[in-house]
Amino acid sequence: MKRMRSDSGAVAVEFALVLIPLILILMGVIDFGRAYTQQLSLSSAAREGARVMAVQNDPVAAKAKARVVATALTPALSDSQIVISGTGCPAGYPVGQTVTVTVTYPLTSITGMFDSLFSGEHLTGKGVMRCGG
């Protein structure tokens, strides 16, 4: 006599096998999406800081503007993370002279799944503008 086997637990096992990779993909999308958003904020902050520096030649105002533009970052940007290079834009605005603002920010994992991958990494935004706007 042949016995019939029940397949009632097969769906639960298959779901468990598929769920783990799906959760890993979801966590990756969340972390890398956040990193991409932070990169966009840093690029915008550096660009606005360079614009203020090129027009006003005021490093304090340029750093303040960069911090204001990057308000979405948590924790917020500090002055030590904003570097202004070049000689600035002195009176007369020499032709071809540029000012560069570089903003760095530590990369962190929001989900905790990729902490070892992100440890010690930094995102960088860079803005370059010709003196005089």
- Are the C-beta atoms of residues 95 and 72 closer than 8 Å to each other? no
Helix (H) or strand (E) holding 91: none
What is the b/e burial string over 108-126, where b = at least 16 CB atoms within 10 angstroms of the residue's CB?
bbeeebbeeebeeeebebb
Average pLDDT over residues 108-120: 83
Token readout for 78 is 């500090």
Q: What is the pLDDT of residues 12-67, one digit of tens each?
A: 888 999 999 999 999 999 999 999 999 999 999 999 999 998 888 889 999 999 99
**pLDDT above 70 (res 103):** yes
Q: What is the pLDDT of residues 1-12, one digit of tens each?
A: 566 666 778 888
